[in-house]
Chain A
Amino acid sequence: MNINNELLEKYHLNTCTSEERKQVEEWLFNTNVDEWDTTGFTGDKEVLKNEMWQEIVVDIPPFAKPLPTRTKLYFMWKGAIAATLLIVMLAGLSYFCFKQTNVQPEASISLINTSSHQVKHVDEQGYSASVGPNTAAKINSEDGAIDLKGSILISPKRDITIAQGLHQSTVLKKGQTYVILKNSIGKSGVIVISEKNLLDMPPVMQQQINTQFGI
């Protein structure tokens, strides 16, 4: 088989036939030199071979870099950063979810009337109320706990929850009127009753409530 400069040039320019290409490649990567007539080739076979490898290397994509070895410290930092990001995300989420209750807490309701005869009237942003004589009332905005001495008549401008015992709570609905009394004759601490249910109270107590609050 002839290997000459012209054939190698054609191979180099990728213009040879497939048979010629096969012939050149067999010569290049075969160590038995006697099978080929190389009289038409004036160059150095090894130099040519290297040049051809160079071209091939340029054409194929570079090898993917091996993964660097991860240390324990690396994983620790990675976990810490992820956890921090999660906390930041949750905090952001809860800010929007609980904005009204946590970020802008309703003021607790605190009503005091030291007069022993007069009813005191108050009108606040969240409610209007008539505070009975000798009354001190506090409604905690967070848990609805009520501390009451005396009596109040209250009309909430937004819903107010009052906790009564461990598992019981009463919602004072916006726009309605409620009477809240220290429960003198019962087991629970206070009596909370809508003005609409006042006729369910004992008549004598109703008279006392009506007379005091003028309702």
Chain B
Amino acid sequence: MALFAFGVGCKSNTDKAAKYSLYILAKDGKEYLLTHNTLDSGVLKPEANGVLLDSKDMDRDVFAKDNFFYHLNRKTGLFSKFFIHSGQLKTDGALLLKDFSIDNFSWISQDTLLLTGFNLSGYNHAKYKLIKINNMQMIAEGDIELPPPSGEFTTQSIGFVEKRADRLFIGYTYHASQGISNYLSSDTFYVAEMAYPAMKRIKVEKDTRSTYPGGPNTIQSYGFSNQQKDYYFMSCPGIALGNRPEIPTGIFRIKANENHLDQDYFFNISATLKNHAYGVWYLGGDQAIIRAERKDLYKDLNDHYSTAHFEFYIINLKTKSAKKLHLPLDKGTRRECVIVEGDTAYISVNSTKDGNFIWLYDIKTGSLKKGLQLAGDTDFIMRIDRLNP
């Protein structure tokens, strides 16, 4: 299937074994997908080492697992599974998902993928797709029984999906569209407990401590389960997601053995940093890494993505403390930019002054050092993914 325009890549046949992929937006607006075996050192240039992507088919809301990439083309409705071979994208299978927009993906098992989202035609009708990825077959699809938007609210979004045995916890909220360039989110977020796989609603919890729970995890991560299987997620009311900047960014918890939000747990990130944050990655133990904006360095949405103003913090979930990492200021509003492996967190940083690098954070010693450089035409490292275990 001629889905993708094949670029001028010059990679070898070893692509399939590569450990990492990097999605690059170049200065000339071209986009490249690169695969590489190490993030520790070296220099890559997207125009020389990457596969040129066709913007009609591809965008960075592409996620990876076991050497394959998955992407929904919003315009054609084709959900594709592909890999890179000899400098080209090769399609391994595809499914037509009509009138569907992905808000979240969850790996239910090694080869079962749950996609949750809404109707493209209105973003007000929650739907799911359960897919066997080995042969890209639909196992089940249908509606998710979430109360639809009403009153002043016109649309809805799902920010996280956490599966526990025969239950699903789905975090969501509502939005009021106010023309093309303005909107508001509700000041409340909701967590629905659903029976799985029946997808029937058991109950819905309301919480007004923050809003916009999680976010589209095809672009960036907003939640994780720790070693005890307690689930943590970040709320994102800042202007880049919820657009309720007066409400604090926070971290919430659903304990492993409980089926409701932990009302006693709230890590108020905004109170600690005096800024909003977007994105969280688990480091192990009580530690996680978050990416926070600097409201004193950008003006508004117009320069939020192009100005380097993001900082990374190591947070302690138990003591609710934060420690800033001494990295260059990073640009790009939302990016999948951290990979954690053993004692190392690989952090991609797009610095206006110092270039585009993968930095290595040693979780045990707290030391930082520069690793792989993305040079040449690179403007943004848009995402980094681990391709295989």
Contact = CB atoms under 8 A, between A and B. Distances in A.
Contact of A212 (B180, B240, B333): B180
A186 B182 CA distance: 10
Interface in B172-203: 175, 177-183, 185
Contacts of B318: none
B180 A203 contact: no
Contacts of A207: 101, 123, 155
Nearest to A189: B302
Interface stretch (B10-18, B54-62, B88-96): B54-62
A190 B302 contact: yes
Interface string B296-310: 000111111110000
A204 B185 contact: yes
A182 B216 CA distance: 25
A209 B240 CA distance: 15
Given A202-B243, A204-B155, A151 B180 contact: yes
B31 interface: yes
Contact of A188 (B74, B177, B299): B299
Contacts of A173: 28-29
B219 interface: yes
Contact of A196 (B29, B242, B299): B29
Contact of A204 (B55, B74, B243, B306): B243
B177 A208 contact: yes
Q: Main SS of chain A's interface residues?
A: mixed
A179 to B, nearest CB: 9
A183 B302 contact: yes
Contacts of A212: 180
B61 A164 contact: no
A202 B28 CA distance: 23
A197 B181 contact: no
A175 B30 CA distance: 11
Interface residues of B, number: 43
A150 B180 CA distance: 8
B209 to A, nearest CB: 21
A212 B242 CA distance: 21
Contact of B25 (A150, A192, A196, A208): A196
B302 A204 contact: no
Contacts of B179: 184, 208
Contacts of A151: 180-181
Contacts of B302: 164, 183, 186, 188, 190-193
A184 B181 CA distance: 6
B254 interface: no
A141 interface: no
Contacts of B101: 207
Given A192-B302, A203-B215, A185 B180 contact: no
Interface of A: 132, 150-151, 164, 173, 175-176, 181-188, 190-197, 199-205, 207-210, 212, 215
Interface of B: 25, 28-29, 31, 55, 59-61, 74-75, 101, 103, 123, 155, 157, 175, 177-183, 185, 215-216, 219, 239-243, 299-306, 332-334
